[in-house]
Amino acid sequence: MATTNKDVLLKVNGLQVAYGGIQAVKGVDFEVREGELVSLIGSNGAGKTTTMKAITGSLPFVAGDIQYLGQSIKGRGAWDLVKLGLAMVPEGRGVFARMTITENLLMGAYIRSDKGGIASDIEKMFNIFPRLRERKDQLAGTMSGGEQQMLAMGRALMSRPRVLLLDEPSMGLSPIMVDKIFEVIKDVYAQGVTVLLVEQNASRALGIANRGYVMESGIITMSGEAKQMLNDPKVRAAYLGE
Protein backbone atom coordinates (compact mmCIF):
# COMPACT_ATOMS: atom_id res chain seq x y z
CA MET A 1 0.00 0.00 0.00
CA ALA A 2 1.20 3.53 -0.67
CA THR A 3 1.82 5.77 2.32
CA THR A 4 2.99 8.98 0.68
CA ASN A 5 0.79 11.06 2.96
CA LYS A 6 2.51 9.79 6.08
CA ASP A 7 5.14 11.68 8.04
CA VAL A 8 8.75 10.71 7.42
CA LEU A 9 10.12 9.24 10.66
CA LEU A 10 13.60 8.24 9.49
CA LYS A 11 15.50 9.90 6.65
CA VAL A 12 19.00 9.00 5.46
CA ASN A 13 20.68 11.63 3.27
CA GLY A 14 23.93 11.09 1.34
CA LEU A 15 25.24 8.65 3.95
CA GLN A 16 28.89 7.67 3.58
CA VAL A 17 30.60 5.26 5.98
CA ALA A 18 34.23 4.15 5.83
CA TYR A 19 36.20 1.90 8.13
CA GLY A 20 39.41 -0.08 7.82
CA GLY A 21 40.33 1.90 4.72
CA ILE A 22 37.21 0.74 2.89
CA GLN A 23 34.27 2.95 1.97
CA ALA A 24 31.42 0.57 2.67
CA VAL A 25 28.55 3.02 2.13
CA LYS A 26 28.94 5.50 -0.72
CA GLY A 27 26.15 8.05 -0.55
CA VAL A 28 22.92 6.36 0.43
CA ASP A 29 19.50 8.04 0.48
CA PHE A 30 16.28 6.48 1.71
CA GLU A 31 13.39 7.17 4.05
CA VAL A 32 10.93 5.35 6.26
CA ARG A 33 7.51 6.89 6.78
CA GLU A 34 5.21 6.41 9.73
CA GLY A 35 3.17 3.23 9.45
CA GLU A 36 5.42 1.58 6.88
CA LEU A 37 7.29 -1.68 6.75
CA VAL A 38 10.31 -0.97 4.56
CA SER A 39 12.75 -3.65 3.43
CA LEU A 40 16.37 -2.96 2.55
CA ILE A 41 17.64 -5.94 0.57
CA GLY A 42 20.96 -6.85 -0.99
CA SER A 43 23.63 -9.51 -1.05
CA ASN A 44 26.15 -10.11 1.70
CA GLY A 45 28.67 -7.26 1.78
CA ALA A 46 26.37 -4.72 0.10
CA GLY A 47 26.60 -2.34 3.06
CA LYS A 48 23.23 -3.00 4.67
CA THR A 49 24.46 -3.79 8.18
CA THR A 50 26.97 -0.93 8.03
CA THR A 51 24.10 1.42 7.24
CA MET A 52 22.10 0.11 10.20
CA LYS A 53 25.07 0.54 12.52
CA ALA A 54 25.46 4.13 11.35
CA ILE A 55 21.78 4.82 12.01
CA THR A 56 22.03 3.51 15.57
CA GLY A 57 25.27 5.32 16.36
CA SER A 58 27.56 2.32 16.67
CA LEU A 59 29.56 3.36 13.57
CA PRO A 60 30.51 6.97 12.77
CA PHE A 61 29.84 8.25 9.27
CA VAL A 62 32.09 10.51 7.25
CA ALA A 63 29.46 12.38 5.23
CA GLY A 64 25.73 12.86 4.96
CA ASP A 65 23.14 12.94 7.70
CA ILE A 66 20.53 10.80 9.40
CA GLN A 67 17.35 12.42 10.67
CA TYR A 68 14.79 10.95 13.02
CA LEU A 69 11.56 12.86 13.66
CA GLY A 70 12.99 15.71 11.61
CA GLN A 71 16.13 16.14 13.74
CA SER A 72 19.68 15.03 13.02
CA ILE A 73 20.79 12.14 15.21
CA LYS A 74 24.43 12.29 14.17
CA GLY A 75 26.60 11.48 17.18
CA ARG A 76 23.70 10.24 19.29
CA GLY A 77 24.27 6.97 21.12
CA ALA A 78 21.99 3.97 21.29
CA TRP A 79 20.82 5.00 24.79
CA ASP A 80 19.46 8.31 23.48
CA LEU A 81 17.93 6.74 20.40
CA VAL A 82 16.02 4.13 22.41
CA LYS A 83 14.61 6.92 24.56
CA LEU A 84 13.48 8.62 21.35
CA GLY A 85 11.68 5.47 20.22
CA LEU A 86 14.26 3.96 17.86
CA ALA A 87 15.19 0.37 18.77
CA MET A 88 17.33 -2.16 16.91
CA VAL A 89 17.61 -5.93 16.84
CA PRO A 90 21.22 -6.37 15.67
CA GLU A 91 22.64 -8.98 13.36
CA GLY A 92 23.84 -11.84 15.54
CA ARG A 93 21.14 -11.10 18.16
CA GLY A 94 23.49 -9.79 20.86
CA VAL A 95 21.65 -11.34 23.81
CA PHE A 96 23.18 -11.19 27.29
CA ALA A 97 24.39 -14.78 27.39
CA ARG A 98 24.88 -15.02 31.18
CA MET A 99 21.50 -13.54 32.03
CA THR A 100 18.21 -15.37 32.03
CA ILE A 101 15.53 -14.78 29.44
CA THR A 102 13.50 -12.73 31.92
CA GLU A 103 16.55 -10.64 32.83
CA ASN A 104 17.24 -9.99 29.14
CA LEU A 105 13.68 -8.76 28.66
CA LEU A 106 14.01 -6.48 31.69
CA MET A 107 17.17 -5.02 30.15
CA GLY A 108 15.06 -4.03 27.16
CA ALA A 109 12.97 -1.85 29.47
CA TYR A 110 15.90 -0.06 31.11
CA ILE A 111 14.64 3.36 30.01
CA ARG A 112 11.27 2.77 31.70
CA SER A 113 10.18 3.13 35.31
CA ASP A 114 6.57 1.92 35.09
CA LYS A 115 6.87 -1.39 36.93
CA GLY A 116 3.31 -2.43 36.23
CA GLY A 117 3.66 -1.72 32.52
CA ILE A 118 6.97 -3.55 32.35
CA ALA A 119 5.46 -6.64 34.01
CA SER A 120 2.52 -6.47 31.62
CA ASP A 121 4.83 -6.20 28.61
CA ILE A 122 6.92 -9.17 29.74
CA GLU A 123 3.72 -11.19 29.85
CA LYS A 124 2.91 -9.88 26.38
CA MET A 125 6.32 -11.03 25.10
CA PHE A 126 5.69 -14.47 26.59
CA ASN A 127 2.37 -14.60 24.72
CA ILE A 128 4.05 -13.61 21.45
CA PHE A 129 6.93 -16.04 22.04
CA PRO A 130 5.57 -19.00 24.09
CA ARG A 131 8.98 -20.69 23.91
CA LEU A 132 10.46 -17.86 25.97
CA ARG A 133 7.91 -18.47 28.71
CA GLU A 134 8.88 -22.13 28.82
CA ARG A 135 12.55 -21.14 29.28
CA LYS A 136 12.15 -17.89 31.23
CA ASP A 137 14.72 -18.87 33.88
CA GLN A 138 17.20 -20.36 31.41
CA LEU A 139 20.45 -18.57 30.58
CA ALA A 140 20.15 -16.89 27.17
CA GLY A 141 23.51 -18.25 26.03
CA THR A 142 22.21 -21.82 26.21
CA MET A 143 19.34 -21.20 23.80
CA SER A 144 19.18 -22.07 20.10
CA GLY A 145 19.76 -19.42 17.45
CA GLY A 146 16.06 -19.12 16.74
CA GLU A 147 15.21 -18.76 20.41
CA GLN A 148 17.87 -16.09 20.79
CA GLN A 149 16.37 -14.22 17.82
CA MET A 150 12.98 -14.31 19.50
CA LEU A 151 14.54 -13.00 22.69
CA ALA A 152 16.38 -10.20 20.89
CA MET A 153 13.13 -9.11 19.25
CA GLY A 154 11.24 -9.29 22.54
CA ARG A 155 13.95 -7.30 24.29
CA ALA A 156 13.76 -4.54 21.68
CA LEU A 157 9.97 -4.43 21.90
CA MET A 158 10.17 -3.96 25.67
CA SER A 159 11.24 -0.36 25.03
CA ARG A 160 7.93 0.23 23.22
CA PRO A 161 9.66 1.56 20.10
CA ARG A 162 8.07 3.79 17.50
CA VAL A 163 10.47 2.45 14.88
CA LEU A 164 11.94 -1.07 15.03
CA LEU A 165 15.12 -1.79 13.07
CA LEU A 166 15.74 -5.46 12.26
CA ASP A 167 19.12 -6.52 10.88
CA GLU A 168 19.11 -9.94 9.16
CA PRO A 169 16.59 -11.59 11.54
CA SER A 170 16.40 -14.82 9.51
CA MET A 171 20.15 -15.42 9.20
CA GLY A 172 21.18 -18.92 10.18
CA LEU A 173 17.70 -20.05 11.19
CA SER A 174 15.79 -23.17 10.17
CA PRO A 175 12.92 -22.72 7.68
CA ILE A 176 10.35 -23.30 10.42
CA MET A 177 11.95 -20.66 12.64
CA VAL A 178 12.17 -18.23 9.71
CA ASP A 179 8.42 -18.64 9.24
CA LYS A 180 7.85 -17.84 12.91
CA ILE A 181 10.10 -14.77 12.87
CA PHE A 182 8.39 -13.32 9.81
CA GLU A 183 4.96 -13.93 11.34
CA VAL A 184 6.06 -11.99 14.40
CA ILE A 185 7.39 -9.14 12.24
CA LYS A 186 4.01 -8.91 10.52
CA ASP A 187 2.21 -8.96 13.88
CA VAL A 188 4.43 -6.22 15.32
CA TYR A 189 3.84 -4.09 12.24
CA ALA A 190 0.09 -4.70 12.43
CA GLN A 191 0.14 -3.38 16.00
CA GLY A 192 1.35 0.01 14.76
CA VAL A 193 5.15 -0.22 14.97
CA THR A 194 6.99 1.19 11.95
CA VAL A 195 9.62 -1.31 10.74
CA LEU A 196 12.87 -1.09 8.78
CA LEU A 197 13.90 -4.62 7.83
CA VAL A 198 17.37 -5.43 6.49
CA GLU A 199 17.34 -8.90 5.02
CA GLN A 200 19.15 -11.11 2.51
CA ASN A 201 16.01 -13.19 1.96
CA ALA A 202 14.58 -10.83 -0.64
CA SER A 203 11.45 -12.84 -1.36
CA ARG A 204 10.36 -12.99 2.27
CA ALA A 205 11.35 -9.39 3.00
CA LEU A 206 9.55 -7.86 0.01
CA GLY A 207 6.62 -10.20 0.59
CA ILE A 208 5.68 -8.43 3.82
CA ALA A 209 6.87 -4.91 3.02
CA ASN A 210 5.14 -1.79 1.68
CA ARG A 211 8.25 -0.50 -0.05
CA GLY A 212 11.73 -1.76 -0.73
CA TYR A 213 15.24 -0.58 -1.53
CA VAL A 214 18.00 -2.62 -3.19
CA MET A 215 21.55 -1.97 -2.02
CA GLU A 216 24.60 -3.04 -4.01
CA SER A 217 28.24 -2.22 -3.29
CA GLY A 218 27.38 0.60 -0.91
CA ILE A 219 24.75 2.37 -2.99
CA ILE A 220 20.99 2.17 -3.50
CA THR A 221 20.38 0.84 -7.01
CA MET A 222 16.62 0.41 -6.99
CA SER A 223 13.56 1.39 -4.96
CA GLY A 224 9.81 1.10 -5.25
CA GLU A 225 6.64 -0.54 -4.07
CA ALA A 226 7.48 -3.97 -2.70
CA LYS A 227 4.97 -5.90 -4.81
CA GLN A 228 6.28 -4.29 -7.99
CA MET A 229 9.85 -5.08 -7.01
CA LEU A 230 8.93 -8.71 -6.41
CA ASN A 231 7.79 -8.89 -10.02
CA ASP A 232 10.75 -6.96 -11.46
CA PRO A 233 12.86 -9.22 -13.70
CA LYS A 234 16.13 -7.67 -12.46
CA VAL A 235 15.23 -8.28 -8.82
CA ARG A 236 14.02 -11.78 -9.55
CA ALA A 237 17.21 -12.64 -11.47
CA ALA A 238 19.59 -11.15 -8.90
CA TYR A 239 17.91 -12.08 -5.61
CA LEU A 240 15.23 -14.70 -6.23
CA GLY A 241 17.31 -17.08 -8.34
CA GLU A 242 15.12 -16.77 -11.42
Tell me, what's the pLDDT at 78? 82
- At 108-155, the pLDDT tens digits run 999 999 999 999 999 999 999 999 999 999 999 999 999 999 999 999
Residues 6+ apart with CB under 8 A from 1: 210
- At 56-107, the pLDDT tens digits run 988 889 999 999 999 999 988 888 899 999 999 988 778 999 999 999 999 9
Distance CA 188, CA 161 (A): 11
The pTM assigned to this predicted structure is 0.92
What is the band of 2 on the pLDDT scale with cuts at 50, 70, 90? very low
Tell me, what's the pLDDT at 45? 86
Q: Is the pLDDT assigned to residue 1 strictly greater than 50? A: no
What is the band of 4 on the pLDDT scale with cuts at 50, 70, 90? very low
Tell me the domains of the chain and their CATH numbers: 8-239 (3.40.50.300)
Tell me, what's the pLDDT at 242? 54
